[in-house]
């Protein structure tokens, strides 16, 4: 397998020292878009190798989902000889991605100050829990704990239920995306200045950044946001609604869409009812409106209704399982499932570039000991 010569990041070399999710997700995205990513794991391997079942050849699916398009080698950074190997790799690298606890790399003489003095063009990206300083500086961060601290749990769940964790590691994943953005910004600036810089993406900051529109509502009203189940706090109907079969999620954002909905449900008078005629009125009177809609929709097949409404211009969708979503024809059309030799299957790259699309070159667990030759990579 050869390195990418066409990806947007072809020729960029990345040392990925990170473990678990946020950092590895960042490294995978960079690799998907052509960067030569060398993942350095400790002798025992990334912890997520054990996060299963399911397992394949003793390695968990969790690890497979985050470590595509990387070549892997193991170093014991507590040992001086292995730190020297790392320094030799960094001499050839453009980007370092790591998520060590603040102070660990510094203890080994590998902190940003030391590395930037030695490698002034290096972009050093750290994924951290809370940043290095401040009241919580240096503390470890974990997705669910940040969901709790950032207020996400408080607004997730049924209105009369307990706070509920979002059912996927949303903070870790968004932090990984923010790390990618930071790396790309730093590389763009380096093209002008010739100098790298320190990039930090903290889970705490990323968790807070997800609070729209709840933060905006609080800033304006001073009222603490509350849980609303599947319903949107500001607009309605933007909620799951029961049918004769599976529920349908309605995402009606304006008066025109609401009128079309009412016409297709054969209750056009609802669109002129003063309780529902405007977005603000529908939001205030959401309980009564949901009852009115369900009274009509409970006689209808959910999937057939969703197909009809979408075709008419009403944003909505059936509630699918993960298995159904991954096997949907449009998922295949959008190339969102990747298959590689050896039985690997994973999610595809969601960002599509017309001239330099993502490529899938290395399945997880591909071994590597050094960067690929830069001249070869540019002409492969």
Confidence of residue 373 (pLDDT cuts 50, 70, 90): confident
Asked which of 291, 318, 345 is the last residue of a domain, the reply is 318
Q: Does residue 2 surpass a pLDDT of 70?
A: no
69 found inside a domain: yes
38 and 122 housed in the same domain:
yes
216 found inside a domain: no
235 found inside a domain: no
Confidence of residue 3 (pLDDT cuts 50, 70, 90): low
264 and 364 housed in the same domain:
no
140 and 273 housed in the same domain:
no
219 found inside a domain: no
270 and 148 housed in the same domain:
no
The mean pLDDT of 95-106, rounded to a whole number, is 95
182 found inside a domain: yes
55 and 150 housed in the same domain:
yes
283 and 153 housed in the same domain:
no
Asked which of 287, 318, 349 is the last residue of a domain, the reply is 318
Exposure of 1 by Cβ count < 10 A (0-12 exposed, 13-18 middle, 19+ buried)? exposed
200 and 335 housed in the same domain:
yes
> How does pLDDT run across 117-139, given as a tens digit for each residue?
999 999 999 999 999 999 999 99
Q: Which domain holds residue 282?
A: 248-318
257 and 362 housed in the same domain:
no
309 and 343 housed in the same domain:
no
Confidence of residue 53 (pLDDT cuts 50, 70, 90): very high
78 found inside a domain: yes
Asked which of 297, 318, 339 is the last residue of a domain, the reply is 318
Percent residues over pLDDT 70 in the chain: 97
Confidence of residue 377 (pLDDT cuts 50, 70, 90): very low
The mean pLDDT of 317-332, rounded to a whole number, is 95
179 and 66 housed in the same domain:
yes
The mean pLDDT of 345-360, rounded to a whole number, is 97
153 and 103 housed in the same domain:
yes
According to the model, what pLDDT value does residue 380 have?
32
> How does pLDDT run across 215-262, given as a tens digit for each residue?
999 999 999 999 999 999 999 999 999 999 999 999 999 999 999 999
Confidence of residue 376 (pLDDT cuts 50, 70, 90): very low
Domains: count for the chain: 2
**Apex 333 CA angle, 328 and 337, nearest 5:** 70
> How does pLDDT run across 254-270, given as a tens digit for each residue?
999 999 999 999 999 99
228 found inside a domain: no
301 and 368 housed in the same domain:
no
Return the active site residues. 172
According to the model, what pLDDT value does residue 4 have?
62
Q: What is the CATH number of the domain that holds 40?
A: 3.40.50.10540
């Amino acid at each position: 397998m050869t390195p990418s010569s066409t990806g947007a990041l072809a020729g960029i070399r990345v040392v990925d020292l990170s473990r678990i999710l946020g950092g590895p997700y960042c490294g995978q995205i960079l690799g998907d878009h052509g960067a030569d990513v060398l993942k350095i794991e400790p002798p025992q391997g990334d912890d997520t190798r054990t996060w299963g079942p399911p397992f394949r050849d003793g390695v968990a699916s969790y690890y497979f989902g985050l470590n595509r398009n990387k070549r892997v080698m193991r170093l014991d950074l507590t040992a001086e000889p292995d730190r020297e190997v790392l320094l030799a790799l960094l001499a050839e690298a453009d980007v370092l991605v790591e998520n060590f606890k603040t102070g660990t790399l510094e203890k080994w003489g590998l902190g940003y100050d030391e590395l930037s003095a030695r490698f002034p063009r290096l972009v050093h990206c750290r994924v951290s829990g809370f940043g290095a300083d401040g009241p919580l500086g240096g503390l470890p961060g974990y997705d669910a704990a940040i969901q709790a601290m950032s207020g996400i749990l408080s607004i997730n769940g049924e209105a009369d239920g307990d706070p509920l964790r979002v059912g996927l590691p949303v903070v870790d994943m968004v932090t990984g995306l923010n790390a990618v953005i930071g790396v790309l910004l730093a590389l763009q600036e380096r093209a002008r200045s010739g100098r790298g810089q320190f990039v930090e993406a903290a889970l705490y900051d990323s968790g807070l950044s997800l609070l729209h529109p709840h933060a905006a509502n609080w800033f304006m009203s001073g009222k603490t946001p509350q849980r609303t189940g599947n319903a949107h706090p500001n607009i309605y109907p933007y909620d799951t609604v029961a049918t004769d079969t599976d529920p349908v999620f309605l995402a009606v954002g304006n008066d025109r869409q609401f009128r079309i909905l009412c016409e297709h449900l054969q209750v056009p008078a609802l669109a002129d009812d003063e309780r529902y005629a405007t977005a603000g009125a529908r939001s205030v009177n959401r309980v009564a409106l949901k009852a009115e809609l369900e009274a009509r929709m409970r006689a209808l097949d959910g999937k057939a209704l969703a197909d009809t409404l979408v075709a008419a211009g009403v944003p909505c969708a059936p509630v699918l399982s993960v298995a159904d979503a991954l096997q949907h024809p449009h998922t295949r059309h959008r190339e969102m499932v990747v298959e590689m030799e050896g039985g690997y299957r994973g999610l595809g790259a969601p960002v599509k570039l017309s001239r330099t699309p993502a490529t899938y070159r290395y399945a997880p667990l591909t071994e590597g000991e050094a960067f690929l030759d830069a001249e070869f990579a540019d002409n492969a």
